Chain A
Amino acid sequence: GQSLEQPSEVTAVEGAIVQINCTYQTSGFYGLSWYQQHDGGAPTFLSYNALDGLEETGRFSSFLSRSDSYGYLLLQELQMKDSASYFCAVMDSNYQLIWGAGTKLIIKP
């Protein structure tokens, strides 16, 4: 079957750096995406990696290693507003997004 594994919860301190990992097993691979969802809100797109390496968008970076079926989202200079759930998602051979269960990021002052 298809699956994505990510930690259920991560805790960090304001101003620190946190990494959220994602490993995947899917039929086909057209890229790894990351979405952010605040409580009561809709998921919003953060980043996308199709090729190996690091993509940087402001305080957020995303990394992909296709040979390891692994990626991560790196959040720097954490702010309280970054408290949210973060989902990784892989587009499979049917162009369908397969989602991880999400990682709840708790930020402490």
Chain B
Amino acid sequence: KAGVTQTPRYLIKTRGQQVTLSCSPISGHRSVSWYQQTPGQGLQFLFEYFSETQRNKGNFPGRFSGRQFSNSRSEMNVSTLELGDSALYLCASSLDGRSHEQYFGPGTRLTVT
């Protein structure tokens, strides 16, 4: 069974631009969660999608948004990029979002200059 995939793996953007990241979960998994990880910090929860609906949202500004498609693939968008948005963005999938075992993708390394 293929794992969680994320594209692109690396991205360099300029302040003020916007970016869209993509995540394809494990086949059969309906829940996708997004996290931001910066050096020395744990994973900061962005949001969780289940069956195309945002079910949970973390404490991030409205510049961070996401969506999920009928095939469970998910995208997250960050508008008006700031230098502080430079981070590793991880997505994780699970069957129903209630499992402690989440399966992570390799992440997208975003650098904002």
Interface residues of A (CB under 8 A from B): 4, 8, 30-31, 33, 41-45, 48, 87, 89, 91, 94-102
CB of B104 within 8 Å of the partner chain: yes
Q: Find chain B residues with CB under 8 A from A99 CB.
A: 35, 42-45
Q: Find chain B residues with CB under 8 A from A8 CB.
A: 40
Interface on chain B toward A: helix, strand, loop, or mixed SS?
A: loop
What are the 8 A-B residue pairs with the smallest beta carbon separation, nearest first?
A99-B42, A42-B104, A48-B100, A99-B43, A45-B101, A33-B100, A101-B42, A43-B104
Q: A42-B104, A44-B104 are in contact. Are A97 and B45 (CB under 8 A)?
A: yes
Question: In angstroms, how far is the closest chain A Cβ from the Cβ of B16?
Answer: 29
**Is A43 a contact of B56 with CB atoms below 8 Å?**
no
**Docked CA distance A94–B47 (Å):** 12
**Is A87 a contact of B100 with CB atoms below 8 Å?**
no
Q: Find chain B residues with CB under 8 A from A48 CB.
A: 100-101
**Is A45 a contact of B56 with CB atoms below 8 Å?**
no
CB of B1 within 8 Å of the partner chain: no
Q: Find chain B residues with CB under 8 A from A91 CB.
A: 100
